[in-house]
Amino acid sequence: MCPVRIPGMLRVAVVGFGWMGQVHTRAYSRLLHHYPETPLRPQLVAVADPAPARRDLATSSYGFSRAQADWEQVVSSEDVDAVSVCGPNSVHRDVAVAAAEAGKHVWVEKPAGRHLADTVEIAEAVRLAGVCSAVGFNYRNAPAVQLARELIAEGRIGGVESASVRLLSDYSADPNGALSWRFDPELAGTGVLGDLASHGFDLLSYVLGAGGRIAEVVGDSATFIPSRPRATGPVSHFSTAAGGPLGPVGNEDYISALLRFDSGARGSIESSRVAVGEQCTYELEVRGERGAVRWDFRRMGELSVCVDQGYSDAAWQTCYVGSRAGDLGAFQPGAGVAMGYDDLKVIEAERFVRSVATGEPVGATIDDAVESASVIDALVRSVDERRWVAV
């Protein structure tokens, strides 16, 4: 069972207060708005971030009791029960392992580690400490995705034959994009594999359910922009630095792969961080013996379905998911009223807090991150060795 020190309260620290640290914080703050029956009330205790402006923001605008530069001091504090790990990939393992060893529950952003070894080390620390974990695979929380999973589990599309996912973005398409930590394997690990494709592997396994484990992969990758201007000072992955001295990009901009699942189904994935004209183009499609489902993140509240028809001349229909689909009812009263990205993180927070309260894992955990990291590890070997590789 997971330890909870103060009945009814979960004292929270956030390590890394950039965009994702702020998203986690808003999710904690909104939890009771959407889930008033939640068994634990998050209390914002501490933030660790090296940037003074972010520390000031955490206390002045977000309501944290304190903010400091030293994450080790925050993680070891006796008044902290749970830690959100939201810094660069290079600190995920150290912070998450230290938090678990200090008896803190851990919500870590994906990819949990820079590579499989990092992720396994976090998972082992969580297991040995007996604490709870959550991982930031938020797209599985979209009500339409949850509905797709239910339709597949009910056999509405028949046995799954194939599944595909595309995750395309333009956030690194500008050749003058600053050479941030995301392009350095020592700091980030992989490139678009860890940043975007990790979501895709989790989505496929989650939606397919039983038999959805990816068993073998064969893939290809490319780095289309091999050098970028060196960053001067802290930058985000949207920052540009035209005119500066160039440095090498050490990880991939693009990947594609064929997949084989335990069930015998086949699959594919394509992901790019340099796709001009694409912003958050995250698409999932599953085809079965008797039908199919399709989802697009940009139309989050819609699920395209082709079910309960004949084998030929079947038509697609658009389902606007209603309040009984997944967790939509906690946010909106009915179909057609949109949810947003931050809402998916509130659902993630609810899963994490419920896990802590009950001692039973709910939602994506560090074990799901290990599964995704194992696929990435196999795919990297496949690219290097130019062959199919077992996961």
Give kind and range of the element (H or E) at residue 348: helix 341-358
The C-alpha atoms of residue 163 and residue 111 are separated, in whole angstroms, by 22
Q: According to the model, what pLDDT value does residue 124 have? A: 98
The letter for the amino acid at 139 is Y
148 lies in the same domain as 276: yes
* pLDDT tens-digit map of 170-203: 999 999 999 999 999 999 999 999 999 999 999 9
Residue 354 is assigned to a structural domain of this protein: no
Q: According to the model, what pLDDT value does residue 110 have? A: 95
115 lies in the same domain as 189: no
Output the six-digit token pair for 26: 């808003």
Q: According to the model, what pLDDT value does residue 7 have? A: 78
Output the six-digit token pair for 249: 């990009």
Q: According to the model, what pLDDT value does residue 190 have? A: 97
Q: Which domain holds residue 275?
A: 143-299+301-339
* pLDDT tens-digit map of 85-102: 999 999 999 999 999 999
Compute the average pLDDT of residues 367-379: 98
212 lies in the same domain as 102: no
Residue 234 has pLDDT above 90, yes or no: no
| Percent of the chain with pLDDT strictly greater than 90 | 92
**CATH code of the domain containing 31:** 3.40.50.720
Residue 231 has pLDDT above 90, yes or no: no
Residue 242 has pLDDT above 70, yes or no: no
Lowest mean pLDDT among 1-5, 35-39, 142-146, 344-348: 1-5
**CATH code of the domain containing 159:** 3.30.360.10
110 lies in the same domain as 219: no
Look at residues 138, 161, 179 and tell me which one is the last residue of a structural domain: 138
Residue 132 is assigned to a structural domain of this protein: yes
Mind giving me the DSSP string for 41-90?
EEEEEEEE-S-HHHHHHHHHTS--SEEES-HHHHHT-TT--EEEE-S-HH
**Structural domains of the chain, count:** 2
Sheet holding 281-288, edge to edge: 317-320, 302-306, 292-296, 281-288, 160-168, 266-272, 254-261, 214-222, 389-390
